[in-house]
Copies of this chain bind each other. A is one copy, B any other.
Amino acid sequence: MKIGELSRATGTNIETIRYYERIGLLPEPGRTAANYRSYGDAHRARLVFVRHSRDLGFTIEEIRSLLDLSDDPARDCHEADRIASAHLEQVEGKIAQLTALRDELTRIVGRCRGGLAGDCRVIEALGDHGQCQSAH
A126 CB-CB contact with B under 8 Å: yes
Copies in the complex: 2
Question: Which chain B positions have C-beta within 8 A of A72?
Answer: 117
Number of A residues near B (Cβ < 8 Å) is: 53
Digitize A76-88: 1 where CB-to-B-CB distance is under 8 Å, 0 elsewhere: 1111110011011
Q: Which listed residue (B77, B84, B120, B123) contacts A108, Cβ 8 A?
A: B84
Cβ contacts under 8 Å, A73 to chain B: 116-119
Tell me the complex Cα distance, A98–B67, Å: 23
Residue-by-residue, is A27-39 near B (CB-CB < 8 Å gives 1, otherwise 0)?
Answer: 0000000000000
CB distance from A102 to the nearest CB of B (A): 5
Point out the residues of chain B lying under 8 angstroms from A85, CB to CB: 109
6 A-B pairs (CB sep. < 8 Å): A49-B127, A53-B126, A77-B112, A79-B117, A95-B95, A95-B102
Given contacts A48-B129, A69-B120, 20 further A-B contacts (CB under 8 A): A52-B126, A52-B128, A56-B101, A56-B104, A56-B136, A57-B98, A69-B117, A72-B117, A77-B114, A77-B116, A77-B117, A77-B122, A77-B123, A79-B117, A81-B114, A84-B122, A88-B102, A88-B105, A91-B105, A92-B102
